[in-house]
Amino acid sequence: MSVEEWVNDELHSLLGISDRTITQFIIALARKSVDTDDLLDKFKSTDTIQVTPATRNFASSLLSMVPHAAPKLAKVPQPSVAELKARETMRMNQRLKLISSDEDDEPEVPVKKRKESKKKKKKDTDKESATDLLDRIKSEEEKDIRERDELAERIRQRDKDKTRSVVEKNDKKAEAEAAKRLSPIISSNFLLDDQL
């Protein structure tokens, strides 16, 4: 006896009615249920079957016959992305405080000199880099022009070669056809000369 037939018979004995659609609905509820109490709650919420001791026995038997949802495990709360970022920020702040407290012993004057010397070096490199940039741009333009001219020359040469080969092929073909046409005439002329 299949599960559908069994549910159909049980529904008929419990409710006095059985229908294929109702049977499939009850089986679907059982598959989605975790345990007997969950299935009975679904019966109550859908107002399909009143909960009685016979209904409880039906629900437990049905759950033993049908594969159903596994019980949900208690979910351990995971920290959210915002919490993780906040923790990381706090760790970084603590590290930076430790480093900055070590640096408090040093005088601040050398730091200013370093900043000024960095600014001066940066200005010098800016001037040098501007001339280098212009030279590089000019050399790239010259290279581009040279490559463009070489490409144009290669294209012209390729077109010229293709044109020549087409004409040569046509000439060879025409010559072969002429030889075929003339070969019977030439051979007949040789025969006539031999006969004379």
Q: What is the pLDDT of residue 141?
A: 93
Q: What is the pLDDT of residue 70?
A: 64
Question: In whole angstroms, what is the distance from residue 171 CA to residue 113 CA?
Answer: 85
Question: In whole angstroms, what is the distance from residue 40 CA to residue 42 CA?
Answer: 5
Q: Are 68 and 34 in contact (CB under 8 A)?
A: yes
Strand intervals (E) in the chain: none
Q: Are 52 and 10 in contact (CB under 8 A)?
A: no
Q: Are 40 and 56 in contact (CB under 8 A)?
A: yes
Q: Please indicate, yes or no, whether the overall pTM of this predicted structure exceeds 0.75.
A: no
Q: Are 60 and 36 in contact (CB under 8 A)?
A: yes
Tens-digit pLDDT profile for the chain (196 aa)?
A: 788 898 888 888 888 888 889 889 888 988 888 888 888 888 888 887 788 888 889 888 888 888 766 666 556 677 777 888 888 888 877 777 666 555 555 555 555 556 666 666 666 566 667 778 888 889 999 999 999 999 999 999 988 888 765 556 677 778 888 888 777 776 666 555 555 5
Domain range annotation of the chain:
3-65, 78-106
Positive or negative torsion for Cα 60, 22, 7, 67: negative
Positive or negative torsion for Cα 12, 15, 16, 20: negative
Residue among 60, 20, 53 at smallest CA distance from 11? 20
Q: What is the pLDDT of residue 43?
A: 84
Q: What is the pLDDT of residue 168?
A: 62
Q: Are 68 and 32 in contact (CB under 8 A)?
A: yes
Q: What is the pLDDT of residue 151?
A: 94
**Angle subtended at Cα 57 by Cα 56 and Cα 62, rounded to the nearest 5 degrees:** 100
